Amino acid sequence: MENGAETDVDCGGGTCPECQPGDGCLSDADCDGGACIDQVCQAPACNDGITNGQETDVDCGGPICPKCQEGELCQLNADCATGLCQGGHCVEPAPACASAAPDPSTGQRCPIFMPCTQNSECGVFQGCQQWFCNPSQTCELNALSNCGTTKGGGCNANIVFTQTDDPPVDKKFLPPDNVNFREVATLAFTVYNNSGSTLRLDKLPLTLETMGGGSAFDVSSAKIYQDSGGAEFSVGDQLIHLTANPFSFPANGVLGPAQGNSFSQVTNGGSKRFIVTLAFAKEKTYIAGRSYRVKLVNPSGVTFKVGLNGPDFVGTNCGVPPEGFVGAWVTAQNP
């Protein structure tokens, strides 16, 4: 019989077992399904706004209700729309690149800028390359600029060029995502000033090579930096010049003029290392699978100014081999 604090025969009220669907109730706590509507216990449903029945979170999980989304509670992988239940919560699985073998030449696994949780997803330390998951939890490269080999040089002239061959290193980067620019280093070279004057780098002629269907119109800008030391391209490097649409008219592959920037200065008897990066704007959402690199093949076209906004320097230069200084491939790749 129904007596005491019961809300139906031998159930409810806080002391007896919870009531079944169709039984009387006064509150949700009286019901086995956790839902009391119009003083009647309701059967668990996938739209009642509570976790009941075989659900693992509110109106999701279990064999009947829709799958749960990332961050919601789960018991099995099958409970999750992501297909992965870890630590009792639905999580996004790591992309395939995270478990792939690292690149045999560079040690890279997943592309730069990809969201990550641990260093191993991005790559392994190899040679001068240190791939890691930064504090912002995106893949990053710290390629040591005091590491590797050099090309060119070994000659006498007013200006001597050498190229650091490694870094920059060939690398994969996440394509633009309609939010950010993607900017990656492709070429680094060092200028030794043996003249009697302080010089400032003014114009730098480059050619662009592409693979995988890449186009000169994919590159939104190219930038020249003064290297601050450390990584091949890092926050501490000083921007010298940005050339928009550098490989189309009117730039046609010439970066500059930049002589008005103090960071382009190379003092007499000194040297300066410069880095060239390629940048891809957020609108460039179709470049996945395409590769790009720059080459410095015409050292006679590199111009320097004498002092600040002075005349063009007229002198000799050497050190660039016949094939030129060839930059690293940068390849847009989805994880």
Instruction: State pLDDT tens for residues 52-105.
Output: 889 999 999 999 999 999 999 999 999 999 999 989 999 988 899 999 999 999
Q: pLDDT band for 48, please (50, 70, 90 cuts).
A: confident
Sign of CA pseudo-dihedral 332, 296, 165, 135: negative
User: 153 and 12 share a domain?
Assistant: no
Given this model, what pLDDT does residue 176 score? 95
Q: Is pLDDT of 165 > 80?
A: no
User: 14 and 125 share a domain?
Assistant: no
Given this model, what pLDDT does residue 121 score? 95
Q: Among residues 10, 43, 14, 44, which one has the least CA distance to residue 26?
A: 14
User: 134 and 227 share a domain?
Assistant: no
Extract the tokens encoding 166: 């490694």
Residue 29, CA atoms < 13 Å, CB-side half-sphere: 6
d(CA 118, CA 324): 38
Structural domain for 24, as ranges:
1-43
CA distances from 168 to 23, 87, 165, 328 (A): 73, 40, 7, 6
| 334 C-beta neighbours (distance < 10 Å), count | 13
Which of 107-116, 164-173, 205-214 has the least mean pLDDT? 164-173
Evaluate whether residue 57 is within a structural domain.
Answer: no
Q: Among 80, 108, 143, where does a domain finish?
A: 143
User: 289 and 155 share a domain?
Assistant: yes
Q: Among residues 84, 52, 57, which one has the least CA distance to residue 68?
A: 57
Q: Is pLDDT of 21 > 80?
A: yes
Which distant-in-sequence residues (6+ apart) come within 8 Å of 51 by Cβ? 34, 57, 58, 59, 73
Given this model, what pLDDT does residue 147 score? 83
Evaluate whether residue 71 is within a structural domain.
Answer: no
CA distances from 56 to 41, 67, 90, 103, 104 (A): 20, 9, 10, 40, 43
User: 128 and 240 share a domain?
Assistant: no
Q: Is pLDDT of 33 > 90?
A: no
Q: What is the pLDDT of residues 199-257, one digit of tens each?
A: 999 999 999 999 999 999 999 999 999 998 878 888 889 999 999 999 998 899 999 99
SS3 content of the chain, % helix, strand, coil (to 5): 5, 35, 60
Q: What is the mean pLDDT of residues 271-277?
A: 96
Given this model, what pLDDT does residue 9 score? 92
Helix and strand tally (H, E) in the chain?
A: 1, 22
User: 180 and 131 share a domain?
Assistant: no
d(CA 174, CA 68): 28
User: 154 and 180 share a domain?
Assistant: yes
Evaluate whether residue 269 is within a structural domain.
Answer: yes
Cis-peptide into 167, omega within 30 deg: yes
Evaluate whether residue 54 is within a structural domain.
Answer: no
- Count up the domains in the chain and report the number: 3
Q: pLDDT band for 145, please (50, 70, 90 cuts).
A: confident
Evaluate whether residue 77 is within a structural domain.
Answer: no
User: 288 and 265 share a domain?
Assistant: yes
Given this model, what pLDDT does residue 260 score? 82
Evaluate whether residue 266 is within a structural domain.
Answer: yes
Residue type for position 122: C
Q: Is 124 exposed, middle or buried (0-12, 13-18, 19+ CB in 10 A)?
A: middle
Percent of the chain with pLDDT strictly greater than 70: 100
SS3 state of residue 67: coil
User: 137 and 239 share a domain?
Assistant: no
Q: Is pLDDT of 285 > 80?
A: yes
User: 26 and 169 share a domain?
Assistant: no
Q: pLDDT band for 182, please (50, 70, 90 cuts).
A: very high
Q: Are 241 and 275 in contact (CB under 8 A)?
A: no
Q: Among residues 334, 245, 328, which one has the least CA distance to residue 289?
A: 334
Q: Is pLDDT of 146 > 80?
A: no
Q: Among residues 302, 296, 293, which one has the least CA distance to residue 323?
A: 296
What CATH code is carried by the domain that includes residue 153? 2.60.40
Evaluate whether residue 124 is within a structural domain.
Answer: yes
Evaluate whether residue 72 is within a structural domain.
Answer: no
User: 274 and 194 share a domain?
Assistant: yes
User: 13 and 133 share a domain?
Assistant: no
Q: What is the mean pLDDT of residues 174-180?
A: 89
Given this model, what pLDDT does residue 133 score? 96
Q: What is the pLDDT of residues 190-200, one digit of tens each?
A: 999 999 999 99
pTM as predicted: 0.78
